[in-house]
Every structure is written in C-alpha cells, then in structure tokens.
Chains A and B, each alone.
Chain A
Amino acid sequence: MMLALIILTLAGLLILFLGFSGMRNVLLPVAIIAISAAIFSLSSQQTFWNHYLADMVQVDGLSRKISLILMFAALGLLPFFNLFKNRGQEELSDFLGIYLFAILGSILMVSALNYMSLFLGVEILSISMYVLAGANRRSILSNEASLKYFITGSFTSAIMLFGIGWIYAESGSLSMIQTSGVATSMMSFGFIFLFTAFALKVALVPFHFWAPDVYQGTPTLFTASMATLVKIAAIGAFYRLVQLNHAVLPEWINWYFVLLILATLILGNILAVTQDSVKRLFAYSGIVQSGFILMGFLYQSAYVDWTMLFYFIAYASASLVGFIVIHFVEAQSGSDSLDSFAGLSKSNPGLALVLSISLISLAGGPLTAGFMAKIFILSQSIQNNFTALAMVAVISAVVSMYYYYKVINAIYSKSSDQPWSVSIYYRGLLYVFTIITLVAGLLPSVLIGLLK
C-alpha cells in the first residue's frame, strides 16, 4: 500500500522533471511502468513500510479491489495521452504527472481509515482534476469547466469538513475505527453532511448541477477519467464509509438514500432525454448509473461487495470506450452533437461497433456486462425487500434505453461524408475494453470469482 503510494508520487515527480528536460518520448513508458508497478505492489500483499501510516490508511479486501479496478481503468486510458504529444511543449508531462497524482488521491480515498486521510485523498484527487478540467487553455468552455468544478469542489470540501468536524466533536477522534462505535443522534447529523458531500462529488441529483457543464467543457480524455476515476473512487469511499458505520447509522438513513436514488433515477433520466450533446448525455447517463449503484448501499444485514465491484467494472469499461470514441469524433468533426455521429458506421465500422456495444452495455442490454451488473443490483435489492424501488429502477432503465439508442440510431443513419481515421493501435485498445464488456456479460462467474 505504502509502496504503491510512494511509487506513484515519485513517478509523478519524475515525469514532471523529464518534461522540463524535454525527454518527451519516455514520459508515457515511465507512467505505464509506474502504474503497473503500483498494481503489482497492491496485488502482492506486502506490508512493507505500512507501519509508518499509523492506521491512517489500510488496505483491506474491498479497498484493494477498488484500487485495482481504478488503476486498471487508469492504465487503459493512459496510452491515449499520446494524442496530446503534438500539442504544446510541456503539456504532456504536466498532464501525465497530474494524472498520476489523481490516481494517488483516489487510492488514498478508498483506503482511508481516518477522516484526515480521507479528506487528503479527496483533495489530492480533486485539485488534480480541477487542473485537468482546464487543460484546454484556449477554450472558454474548458476554463468555465475548471472554474465551476473548482467552486463546487471547494464547496463540497467545506461541507465534508463540517461533517468531519461534527463527528470529531461528538466522538473525540478522527479514526474511523474508533468513531464507528459511537452512536449518538448528533453523530448522524455529522454523517448527513459527510454523505451529502459525497453525493456532491458523485453528482447525485439534486447535487448534480455542476456535472454536465464540467463534463462538457473538459477535454474528453479527462472527462473519461472524471467519469471513471473520480466517480468510482468517490462511490467506493462512500460505500466503505457506510459499510463501516452501518451498525450505528440510524434506520432512517436508508430513506435518505432512497430519496437520493429516486431523484437521481427519475430526474437524471428526464434531463438526459433532452440532451443533444453526446458528452452531456454521457454526463447525465453517468449520474443515472451512480443512482443505480447507490441501490447497493441499502442493505440491512450482509453487504455483498462483488455486486458493486462488478458494476464498477461494467460501468468503467463501457464509459471509457464511450468517451474515447467521443474524443475521436469530436477531434475530427469539431463537435460532439448527435449529428456529428451520423454515418459513423459507414466510415468507421470498427469504431461504430465498439461504441454500440458500450452503449448497449450502459443501457443494460442482454449478454453484456451492463445487463449482468443491473441484474445483480436488482436481485440484491429485491432480496432486501426494496421491490418497489427495483420497479422504479427498471422503468428508469427503459427510459434510459431511449437516449442510449438515440445515439446508436445516429451512428447507423446513412448519411456520411466524413472520412474518419483512427489508428489501429487505438482501435485495438478499444476492442480490448469491448471484449471485457462482452466476456463479463457472457461469463460473469469468472469475474465474480476474482472479485469475491
């Protein structure tokens, strides 16, 4: 654990220095090696240097799995950074370095055992993302996204700190283990603030207002990492927090979650239906998906982690493909509106195929990872007697089909005068993600075996 954090930090710094000295060709290999080394050090259960952390951070089964999913997603996105190579002089190294810090923050976030380290993780991740959101300096939308993200982010931090402060005042400790035994009504007050801050980070309705603008303005590759890295890290940390404290959380906290889920599923879908920009559509779709994942928070007795982890994998593999294809379409047609996707199937069938499969998976079409993920979540919530909620979720899934298939319709509409070209290297990576989506849909028990 400690080793992974050290590797990522040093590699981030190294990349920044390499960037200064103009060695642009080694940046990407260094980053890939660093993340692979971090993955290796996490998956081998070494405890080297861990005692320096003084129980602030600890890797348990769940956080290790979430971190691994996060890092694999980050690793999958990394080769696409090569597309920035031809832009400015220092930009690639800046982006890569900051990206590694973001990964570091997200791992810290999902392994925190102390409210201080949790807050540190949130801040490291967020500040990196504020910078990346504004990466496209010449675009006014990107600047707006960065500013908007920064302001809501600071607001979120304030709320989170207020909640943490309240918890500290009640229990006299910042260690999650020590506070998880304290059950006073004022504690729940603190938790409500803490949870609301997470709802803001995850962009659950009604705390979602910033997400579409930020997603749209941010350069698409960073939107992809926002939609996967930030979302999975935030939901993962949120989930761990709920799981850890679930003995002392009052009964009515479930209703807080149910309200969030209902608002997210219903309003998120309604707003998504009206979108014309595919990036905004994906932003809303991500909001709805996180509403779905939140149904995993409602369990009374036993927490079954693998349903949530499976959903992460299904969501990450599909939305990474989605955003990367959007990036290519946007780069070549200059816009991410539905019309600019028209005729993609004629000019680049491979790209159209992977995008369709990822959309089908996000929509929950059969024999894809998304379908399985939805089945697992629904079956969990029915077993825990939230049948009516499952009903709403199903109806919302039908509504969501509407906008996902709107994009597919656009792809397969006949007009096409755009010559698309994406190098086979990038397409190969996309095929790999798609194969993950299909394999997880066809043989889910293999993946479940790994996650359990």
Chain B
Amino acid sequence: MNSSGVLILIPFIFSLLSFVSGKKWSSIIALISSVGSLFYFLLLLSAYNVKTNYVAFGFYYDWIPSIRASLSFGMDAANLLVLMLTQIVVCLAVLATMVKGNDRTASYYGLIGLTHTFLNAFFSAQNPMTFLIFFEATLIPVYFLILNFGGPKRKQAVFKFFIYTVFGGLLMLLAILFYQSNMFPQLRLDSWADFYQYKLSLKYQYWLFAAFFIAFAIKAPLFPFHTWQADLYSQADRPTLMILAALLSKMGIYGFVRFNFFFIQVVYDWFNYITLLCVIGVVYGAIVAWRQKDIIRLIAYSSLSHIGLMAAGTMTLTNIGMQGAMFAMLAHGLAVAGLIFVADVMIRRTNEHSVDSFSGIARNNPRFAVYFFIILLSAVGLPLTCGFIGEFYLIWALVEFKFYIGLVAALTLIFGAAYMLRWYQKTMFGIPSSNIIGFQKLSLSEDYIFLILVMLILILGLFPADWIGFGQFAYKYMNFIPDN
C-alpha cells in the first residue's frame, strides 16, 4: 500500500463526494474526510522512524517520461511537521464552518477538500516538478473558495493575489525547466537528492535562486511582495482564512527550507540583502499591525511579521535555524488559526470588525477570554507555549550569524507582545459595551475547537524536544552529513 498516496487520495475522493452530495451531507462528508486523514496521518507517524529511513511511505509514478518528469510523494523529516499542521488545521476549518451555520453549500466543502488534497500533495512532494505542479494547483480551489464565498470586495482582492502568485509560480516553472534542460539528458529528477546532487554553474544558480526566491517570497509573503495579503485576508471567508493563513503562507517558507541548501553559495552571498528584507518585514509588519483597527488586518500584519522571521531563519542555513523555522511553522500555524477563530467568534456575534467596538468580553464570557489568552500567549511567543521555542531558535540562529540582524528580529517579540496585548486588553477588559451584552456563550462545538487548539499549544510547548528534533534530521540529510 502506498501510504502517502493514500493520504492524498482520502481527501480527494471525499471532496468529489461532497461536490455531488447535497447540502445536508456534504458537511458530514468533509468532517469524515478531514478527521480520517488526520487519523491516517497519525498512523503513518507512529510507523515512521526518522533514524532508519529519511523518506518513508513513498509513492512514485513515472508521469511524463518525455520530459523526464515523475510524480513522487513521501514523508520525511522536513515535511512531517507541516503535514501534521495541514491535517489539524483542515479539521479545525471544517469544524469552524459547521459551527458557523449551514449556509454553506456542497461546493464549499468540496473545494475545501480539494485544497486539502493539493496541500497534502504539495507538502509531501519528493521532487521539484511535483512540488511545482501542486504549488500552482493549490491556487485554483482557493481562488474559487474566495470568489464564491468571500466578502464584498473579494474580486479585486483575489485577483491581485492570483496574479502575484501565478507570476511567481511560473518563474519557478521556468527555473525548473531550465535546470532540467541543462542537466545531462539521461539524468532524471526523481527525488530531492537528485536535485541537490547536480549543481549548475554559479552563474546560473544566481538566476535560478532569484526565480525561486520571488516565487516563495510572494507566496509567504515577505516584505515588498506582501501587498496582496491584508486585502485578501479581510475578504476571505474566515474558515477559509484559517487554511489560508495557517497553511498557504507556510508554502513559501517550506519552499525556502527545501531549496535553500541547493543554493548555498548564493544564499551566503545574498544573505545580507535577503535578511534585510525579512527584518524590514518583521518590523514593518509589527508597526502596521499596531496601527490596525480591523481585527483581521491586525492578524494579517502580525502574520507578515512572524513569517519574515521564519524566512530569515531559514537563510542562515544552520541546524538551529532549520529546526527553528520548521517548528515555528507548526506553532505559528496553530496560533494564527486560533486567532482567526477568536476573531470569527467575535465578529460572528456582533458583526463588528473593529477592535474598538468590543470591550469587556471577559466579564461576560470568561472561558472564551482564557482560551483567547492562551492562544495569544503562543502567538507572542511566551515560554511554555509552542510559540516560544520556534522563535527562540530562530533568533538564536540569527544572533549567531549576524548579531545586529538577530537583535532587530528579536524586536518582533516585543512589538508582538505590545499589539497583541493591547488587542486583548481593549476587547476583553473594561465595561462591556452595548453590543457585548448579548454576547452569546460559546457553543459546544466552539468549545471543542478551542480546547483542541489550546491543548495542542500547551502540549507542544511543554514537550517540544521530540518535534523540534525532526529539523535536525532534515538538516543532516540535506547536507549529506552521515549518521553517527
């Protein structure tokens, strides 16, 4: 049985089922599909031994022999954490949609399922061509999700996003085709190891890296390429946004994790410029987030800030940076999904989007306030939550590499704490405003979503050692360091 192929197949089959099933059944099918893939993933995880095999549960298909392209999937130390995040967040997003009420048609769940399929395929891709195909394919269901179920200004927002990302994806396509045509005709590009092995001359590497960098920087997004982000986030349906902010933004960082080691010399040469961009993004995102009144835009800019830090961490090309970036992807994914669900709860109950229009929720609804607080602490990186350890490693790596860059990047923690706590203080404390009086208690399923999130945040925060260790193995394999 080809295991990682099945992980892709489960959501795919169920998404087709959701499309054809009626309004009533589609949500249940989506729930079965997402929970099923989560359990299937956990099954794989329990059978996975990182010490004995790097790539496990492989699925290989000789797709287009004429251009030496194959489809290849598998689980390895580098994609394990993001795959786990994918299964969790999609589950939560489906739950969040069901909480929201049943105004969502079958096509919504079908599209979520397709997104899930493509994300699983993307993260478990084992060669550049597969990586690229699903990098682009993910866009299509997301495009239709936002186009069909987004806010009033969704058209312009999703268009901007689409054009930006497609441009990056096609640049990457050119780079991969160029690489392939410059390899010896008999060589194939079946795995990452093949890719790492055949290095082109440095002159070409600069161009190739530039193409990859732009593609990932748009997707992540990093500082000058981020202009689509806040618009899109504020227009997306919020369960979709959970997937968007937690998973799609990780695709770029994951790309850096995969490709940076191929371009070691280029990354070293350009390190200062790239990290400068990232660090500008970190500070800029934080400052703009401070200025935002709209909750969703606040989350968008805070996300920009954190993503910048992760990207900078991957650029150090160190063991520590690698581990930090990979763990931070997981942590940030959980935290941002949580924050969006918090925002969803608040917005759904009052129809207000502005931070200023809430106050005193804690008095009215203390349990919600506690959940919010724990998620928020993770988002600002407090020790003992899972947000801490990733960011700590990232800043550690940066400080070791270039002290002042690390120093500036560390500011994100302070800024983050500042705007997040201000958001919390404004909305939760004080005298309840008129629209808070009728603020309904959390429903049972909302409770479950928060409980799952909070438990994950605490468990991963208290026992991070096993999880963060995967980064070390990925680092080893990508650098061909033998096991000892």
Contact = CB atoms under 8 A, between A and B. Distances in A.
Interface of A: 306, 345, 360, 365-367, 371-372, 375-376, 378-379, 382-383, 387, 390-391, 394-395, 397-398, 401-402, 405, 408-409, 412-413, 443-445, 448, 452
B137 interface: yes
Contacts of B174: 378, 382, 387, 390-391, 394
A367 B169 CA distance: 14
Looking at chain B's contact residues, the main secondary structure is helix
B181 A383 contact: yes
Contacts of B180: 379
Contact of A375 (B62, B147, B155, B173): B173
A408 B155 CA distance: 11
B155 A365 contact: no
A378 B63 CA distance: 18
B64 A394 contact: no
Question: Chain A CB within 10 Å — which of B62, B66, B133, B139 has the most?
Answer: B66
A366 B137 contact: yes
B140 to A, nearest CB: 6
Contacts of A448: 64, 66
B240 to A, nearest CB: 15
A445 B63 contact: yes
A409 B136 CA distance: 19
A40 B136 CA distance: 40
A14 to B, nearest CB: 43
B159 A412 contact: no
Contacts of B139: 365-366
B350 interface: no
Contacts of B155: 409, 413
B163 interface: yes
B177 interface: yes
Contact of B65 (A306, A397, A402, A445): A445
A383 B67 CA distance: 11
A366 B178 contact: no
A402 B160 CA distance: 9
Nearest to B129: A375
Given A306-B66, A409-B147, A365 B177 contact: no
A402 B144 contact: no
Nearest to B133: A366
Nearest to B167: A398
10 contacts: A306-B66, A378-B177, A379-B67, A379-B177, A394-B173, A398-B166, A402-B163, A405-B159, A412-B147, A412-B148
B458 to A, nearest CB: 39
Q: Describe A's contact surface by its main secondary structure.
A: helix
A134 to B, nearest CB: 38
List of 9 A-B pairs having minimum Cβ-Cβ separation, nearest first: A366-B136, A366-B137, A383-B181, A379-B177, A394-B170, A398-B167, A382-B181, A445-B64, A412-B147
B399 interface: no
Contacts of A395: 167
Contacts of B66: 306, 376, 445, 448, 452
Contact of B140 (A345, A360, A443, A444): A360
B144 A412 contact: yes
A96 to B, nearest CB: 37
B171 A394 contact: yes
B148 A367 contact: no
Given A375-B67, A382-B174, A382-B177, A398 B136 contact: no
Interface string B47-67: 000000000000000111111
B225 interface: no
Nearest to A376: B67
A378 B181 CA distance: 11
Contact of A365 (B65, B136, B167): B136
Contacts of A375: 67, 173, 177
Interface in B127-157: 133-134, 136-137, 139-140, 143-144, 147-148, 155
Contacts of A398: 163, 166-167, 170
A382 B177 CA distance: 7
A149 B67 CA distance: 40
Given A376-B66, A445-B62, 6 more contacts: A345-B148, A360-B140, A365-B136, A372-B64, A387-B174, A445-B63
Given A365-B140, A409-B159, A401 B181 contact: no
B162 interface: yes
A91 B27 CA distance: 52
Interface in B178-235: 178, 180-181
A412 to B, nearest CB: 5
Given A398-B167, A401-B166, A444 B133 contact: no
A397 B137 contact: no
Contacts of B63: 443-445
A228 to B, nearest CB: 24
Nearest to A411: B147
Given A444-B64, A445-B63, A382 B163 contact: no
Nearest to A304: B66
B120 to A, nearest CB: 15
A113 B137 CA distance: 44
A405 B65 contact: no
Nearest to A349: B107
Contacts of A445: 62-66
Given A382-B177, A382-B178, A401 B65 contact: no
A379 B133 contact: no
A35 to B, nearest CB: 30
Contacts of B170: 394, 397-398
Given A379-B181, A391-B174, A401 B162 contact: yes
A367 B65 contact: no
A367 B133 contact: yes
B206 to A, nearest CB: 14
Contacts of B143: 405
A120 B180 CA distance: 44
A435 to B, nearest CB: 14
A449 B449 CA distance: 50
A122 to B, nearest CB: 32
Contacts of A365: 136, 139-140
A259 B320 CA distance: 51
Nearest to A385: B181
Nearest to B180: A379
A352 to B, nearest CB: 11
A367 B137 contact: yes
A398 B170 CA distance: 8
A37 B423 CA distance: 74
B177 A366 contact: no
A331 to B, nearest CB: 26
Contacts of A412: 144, 147-148
Contacts of B166: 398, 401
A449 to B, nearest CB: 9
A256 B137 CA distance: 36
B220 to A, nearest CB: 19
A412 B159 CA distance: 13
A117 B143 CA distance: 50
Nearest to A356: B144
Most chain B CB inside 10 Å of its own CB: which residue of A378, A394, A402, A443: A394
Contact of B173 (A367, A378, A413, A443): A378
Nearest to B169: A366
A64 B464 CA distance: 64
A452 B140 CA distance: 31
